[in-house]
Amino acid sequence: QQQVKQSPQSLIVQKGGISIINCAYENTAFDYFPWYQQFPGKGPALLIAIRPDVSEKKEGRFTISFNKSAKQFSLHIMDSQPGDSATYFCAAGPAYQKVTFGTGTKLQVIP
């Protein structure tokens, strides 16, 4: 019940395209869903996060969509750029316990 399943494992997108990464969870006690971005040789960095009381959150080119009934959430990167090439981790958890991370998606944006 603590798992967060993330897909795809890797993704190649053309510059200007839309990158979509999906995550699913089982534990209905989860109520916070952050996304982290990790560049090679660096630690992950918080990118954007959502609470389940909203269905969508947008920050610049990054949007989280949340489907509470399906227990799924996704990250959309609009107008993807080569500088977005990184590994993206979704995460989830109840606000009083440890975060559970997904397995990561390696995104490559090609010119």
For the bound state, the minimum distance from the C-beta of residue 83 to another protein, rounded and expressed in Å, comes to 19
Q: Is 85 in the site for another protein (CB under 8 A)?
A: no
> Where do we find the tokens 């969870």?
25
Q: Is 40 in the site for another protein (CB under 8 A)?
A: no
CA distance 76 to 80: 9
Q: Tell me the two tokens of residue 49.
A: 């996060």
Residue of 32, 52, 81, 108 that binds another protein (CB under 8 A) = 32
Single out the segment in contact with another protein by CB under 8 A; choices: 19-27, 29-37, 55-63, 66-74.
29-37
CA distance 37 to 86: 7
For the bound state, the minimum distance from the C-beta of residue 69 to another protein, rounded and expressed in Å, comes to 23
Q: Is 104 in the site for another protein (CB under 8 A)?
A: yes
Residue with smaller CB distance to another protein, 71 or 78 = 71
CA distance 63 to 81: 15
Distance of CA 99 to the CA centre of its chain: 14
| Residue 19 DSSP class | E
Interacting residues with another protein (CB under 8 A): 6, 32, 34, 36, 41-46, 49, 89, 91, 93, 95-104
